[in-house]
Structure 1
Amino acid sequence: MALLTELNLYPIKSCGGISLREATLTSAGLMYENIYDREWMVVDTKGEFMTQRDFPKMALITPRIKADTLELRAPGMLRLEIPLGLPDPEEEKTLQVRVWEDAVQAYDCDEVTATWFTNFLGTPCRLVRFHAEAKRLASGKWTGDVEAPTLFADAFPMLVISEGSLADLNGKLKAQGREALPMNRFRPNIVIGGIEAFEEDFAESLRIGEAKLKPVKPCSRCNVPSVDQSTGVPGPDPLDIMQSYRANPKLDGALTFGMNAIVLEGEGQVLRVGQDIGVDLAF
Structure 2
Amino acid sequence: MMRLSALYRYPMKSAAGQLLDSSRVGLLGLQGDRRWMAVDAETGRFLTQRLLAQMTQMNVHWRGEDGVLLTAPNMPELFVAVPTGEDALRGVTVWRDSFRVPDAGDEAAAWVSRFLGRDCRLVYVPEARARQVDSGFGEAGDKVGFADGFPLLLIGQSSLDDLSARVGRELPMLRFRPNLVITGAEPYAEDSWKRIRIGEIEFRVAKGCSRCIMTTLDPATGERSADREPLTTLKTYREREGEVYFGQNLIADGAGELQVGMTVEVLE
Same fold (TM over 0.5): yes
CA distance in 2, matches of 1:65, 1:105: 22
Matched, 1:147 2:141: yes
2:78 aligned to 74, 77, 80, which one?
Answer: 80
Residue type of the partner of 1:37? D
Equivalent pair of 1:140/1:147 in contact (CA under 8 Å): no
> In the alignment, which residue of structure 2 is the partner of 1:162?
156
- The alpha carbon displacement at 1:162 in A equals 0.5
CA distance in 1, matches of 2:186, 2:62: 34
Residue type of the partner of 1:227? L
Residue type of the partner of 2:192? F
Equivalent pair of 2:155/2:246 in contact (CA under 8 Å): yes
Equivalence map 1:179-218=2 (5 Å): 179-218=169-208
CA distance in 2, matches of 1:97, 1:140: 21
Q: Which moved more, 1:181-190 or 1:228-237?
A: 228-237
RMSD of the TM alignment (CA)? 1.4
CA distance in 2, matches of 1:173, 1:83: 43
> In the alignment, which residue of structure 1 is the partner of 2:37?
41
> In the alignment, which residue of structure 2 is the partner of 1:244?
236
> In the alignment, which residue of structure 1 is the partner of 2:102?
107
CA distance in 2, matches of 1:213, 1:65: 24
CA distance in 2, matches of 1:270, 1:135: 21
Equivalent pair of 2:159/2:188 in contact (CA under 8 Å): yes
Number of residue pairs the alignment of both structures matches? 264
Residue type of the partner of 2:55? M
CA distance in 2, matches of 1:81, 1:142: 37
Secondary structure class of the residue paired with 2:23: strand
Q: TM-score, normalised by structure 1?
A: 0.89
- The alpha carbon displacement at 1:132 in A equals 4.9
- The alpha carbon displacement at 1:80 in A equals 1.3
CA distance in 1, matches of 2:95, 2:118: 20
Secondary structure class of the residue paired with 1:244: helix
Equivalent pair of 2:24/2:30 in contact (CA under 8 Å): yes
Sequence identity (%): 36
> In the alignment, which residue of structure 1 is the partner of 2:15?
15
Secondary structure class of the residue paired with 1:82: strand
Matched, 1:225 2:215: yes
Task: List structure 1 segments (4+ residues) > 4 angstroms apart after TM superposition.
Answer: none
Once the two structures are superposed, what CA deviation does each residue of 1:239-268 show, in whole Å capped at 9, x if it has no partner? 1111110013xxx2310000011112x31x
2:129 aligned to 110, 126, 134, which one?
Answer: 134
CA distance in 2, matches of 1:64, 1:154: 20
CA distance in 2, matches of 1:73, 1:254: 34
CA distance in 2, matches of 1:151, 1:196: 31
Matched, 1:263 2:260: no
CA distance in 1, matches of 2:127, 2:257: 22
Secondary structure class of the residue paired with 1:243: helix
In structure 2, do the counterparts of structure 1 residues 148 and 133 end up closer, same or farther at CA, with 3 Å as the change threshold?
closer
In structure 2, do the counterparts of structure 1 residues 202 and 14 end up closer, same or farther at CA, with 3 Å as the change threshold?
same
Unaligned runs of 5+ in 1: none
Q: TM-score, normalised by structure 2?
A: 0.94
Equivalence map 1:19-34=2 (5 Å): 19-31=19-31
